Amino acid sequence: MAIYAISDLHLSFGVNKPMNIFGQVWENYEDIVKKNWLETVKEDDTVIIAGDISWAMTLNESVKDFEFIANLPGNKIILRGNHDYYFATKTKMENFFKEKGLNNFRVLHNNAYDVENYIICGTRAWGKTENNTAEQDKKIIAREENRLINSLKEGKRIQEEYEQKGIRKEIIVALHFPPFTSNFTNIMEEYNVKMCVYGHLHGYGHSMVKEGNIGGIEYKMVGCDYTNFNLIKLSE
């Protein structure tokens, strides 16, 4: 049972926002994602979707997008991206999935999940220049840093319970934004995170991608247009 990650699906089955306006690379990309997913993921695998899942503005508009994902193999752990405007509280999202019969989604928000030999933590994170005012960005970054800490505290609690039984489980963090601004990397290093996956960057932004071992953490960029619409395998 493996763990995979992908990000920035930007699905628009319920709204008129085709991604091919951003370039030919996005032409029929949904079919490519589906093909690669079906060839890669088994029903008992886990897929982390690191934000920017749907262009929908409301939960009702997002139904077809989540149905598309639900019909693909694997258990999905999702977190919010900066364009997931429909995204509500964790409880509202879980109630929405239950109401629509979409039973293979779990929401990552101030919590952690025990998956195979790993513990999955994470939050959306944020960039330094997303808003018109630096003061507003600072407030959001502080909130996201706190959410990451809350998630990692829960992950650490799970990890220590296993260690008392002689079992070692490493922590994987999933973020939407790259973590290389503010204190996100420092927080992860403090909690001895093994791996961090992120997305958000597109087009010329790919020149800013950082991957590999940095400060003892293995970083992987999983934005789907960066990975040629393949899922990235994180574990066996």
Q: Reply yes or no on whether the pLDDT at 132 is more than 80.
A: no
| Tens-place pLDDT, residues 16-28 | 988 877 778 999 9
Q: Is 234 helix (H, G, I), strand (E, B) or coil?
A: strand
Q: What is the pTM of this model?
A: 0.96
Q: Which fold has domain 3-235?
A: Purple Acid Phosphatase; chain A, domain 2 (3.60.21)
Read off the pLDDT of each residue in 6-11 and give the average, rounded to a whole number.
98
> What is residue 193's predicted lDDT score, i.e. its pLDDT?
98
> What is residue 217's predicted lDDT score, i.e. its pLDDT?
98
Mean pLDDT of the chain, nearest integer: 95
| 191/186 Cα distance (integer angstroms) | 9
List the chain domain ranges. 3-235
> What is residue 181's predicted lDDT score, i.e. its pLDDT?
85
Q: Reply yes or no on whether the pLDDT at 228 is more than 90.
A: yes
| Tens-place pLDDT, residues 59-104 | 999 999 999 999 999 999 999 999 999 998 999 999 999 999 999 9
**Which one has a higher pLDDT value, 136 or 178?**
178
* DSSP 8-state class, residue 230: P
CA 232 centroid distance within chain: 12
Paired with 32 in beta bridges are: none
| Tens-place pLDDT, residues 177-227 | 999 988 999 999 999 999 999 999 999 999 999 999 999 999 999 999 999
Read off the pLDDT of each residue in 148-152 and give the average, rounded to a whole number.
98
Paired with 196 in beta bridges are: 173, 219
